[in-house]
Amino acid sequence: MLKIDNITKSFAGVFEPVLKGVDLSLKEGEFCTIIGANGSGKSTLLKIISGEHQADSGKIQRNGEISQVVQDVNKGTIPSMTMLENIALSRMKKPSFSFYNRCKSEVVDKIKSLNIGLEKFVNQPLGALSGGQRQTIATLMAINSGGKILLLDEHTSALDPKMQTMLMEYTAKSVREHRLTTLMITHNLDDAVKYGDRLIMMHKGRIVVDVKGRKKAELKIQSLLEMFHKIEDQILLNDGGKNVC
């Protein structure tokens, strides 16, 4: 469960608040995709939920530990450690020098299940892998770390189309199996429509669209584009960006 109540956030030197009274409540296991233009407040919202930033006002209630994947994989992995050590460390609350040997078989099996050949690099430092490969491993670590709230900030952005599809299928399957309460930022409208059981659109620091249930299942990309243009028109008419759904 995740409940966000009237969160606001401003930064020095930025004319407008980045977040303007954001309210959002997610049930356990709910998978919510977040879309919006650059600067709409998406990443700032996730950073406040994770504790990286402090809100100016408002409250956050969360039931369970948080796992996250950010665009900068250097923040989520240790390049000098091997793939095996990184993954095993993410799962251990009290690691020891022998911790990774005890779960090597399970880690290798999980990597093999991705079916992209990464298992052959299991004992190599992560710094030797490509950015896309490291992003894939960072996602695997986050999903299997034991956290109940999963935050994904464009976690497929560094991948080629084939790996992107593979990782999104793995993400959706894992979210269902582990009942992870998930917020996923994406600029890929195909993914926003296809995955998750809820979609929100942010614009100028507010949630302006919130679609779930049957409406989400029937949502089309053209409908999203029409919603966005309608919101732009509302802003121009000083409508304040009220929710259109």
In a domain, residue 158? The reply is yes
For residue 130, pLDDT over 70 is answered with yes
- Overall average pLDDT of the 116-123 stretch: 84
In a domain, residue 243? The reply is no
Task: Express as a percent the part of the chain with pLDDT over 70.
Answer: 88
Q: Report the pLDDT value the prediction gives residue 15, as an integer from 0 to 100.
A: 85
Residue 26's domain is classified under what CATH number? 3.40.50.300
As for how many domains the chain has, the answer is 1
Contact 122, 96 (CB under 8 A): no
Pairing verdict, β 57-62 and 31-35: unpaired
Identity of the amino acid at 12: A
Q: Is 89 exposed, middle or buried (0-12, 13-18, 19+ CB in 10 A)?
A: middle
Q: Report the pLDDT value the prediction gives residue 239, as an integer from 0 to 100.
A: 47
In a domain, residue 161? The reply is yes
For residue 77, pLDDT over 80 is answered with no
For residue 100, pLDDT over 80 is answered with no
By mean pLDDT, which of 21-30, 87-96, 169-178, 188-197 is the weakest? 87-96
Q: Report the pLDDT value the prediction gives residue 243, as an integer from 0 to 100.
A: 47
In a domain, residue 155? The reply is yes
Pick the more confident residue, 149 or 124. 149
Segment 210-239, tens digit of pLDDT: 999 999 999 999 988 888 878 776 655 554
In a domain, residue 242? The reply is no
Q: pTM value?
A: 0.85
Segment 3-14, tens digit of pLDDT: 999 999 999 888
In a domain, residue 7? The reply is yes
CA distance 109 to 221: 36
Q: Is 51 exposed, middle or buried (0-12, 13-18, 19+ CB in 10 A)?
A: exposed
Q: Report the pLDDT value the prediction gives residue 215, as an integer from 0 to 100.
A: 92
Segment 39-71, tens digit of pLDDT: 899 999 999 999 999 999 999 998 888 988 887
- Overall average pLDDT of the 185-198 stretch: 94
CA distance 212 to 19: 22
Can you give the residue range of the structural domain that contains 150?
2-236
Q: Report the pLDDT value the prediction gives residue 94, as an integer from 0 to 100.
A: 53
By mean pLDDT, which of 79-83, 124-128, 154-158 is the weakest? 79-83
In a domain, residue 131? The reply is yes
Identity of the amino acid at 154: E
Average per-residue pLDDT in the chain?
A: 85
- Overall average pLDDT of the 63-82 stretch: 79
CA distance 89 to 63: 23
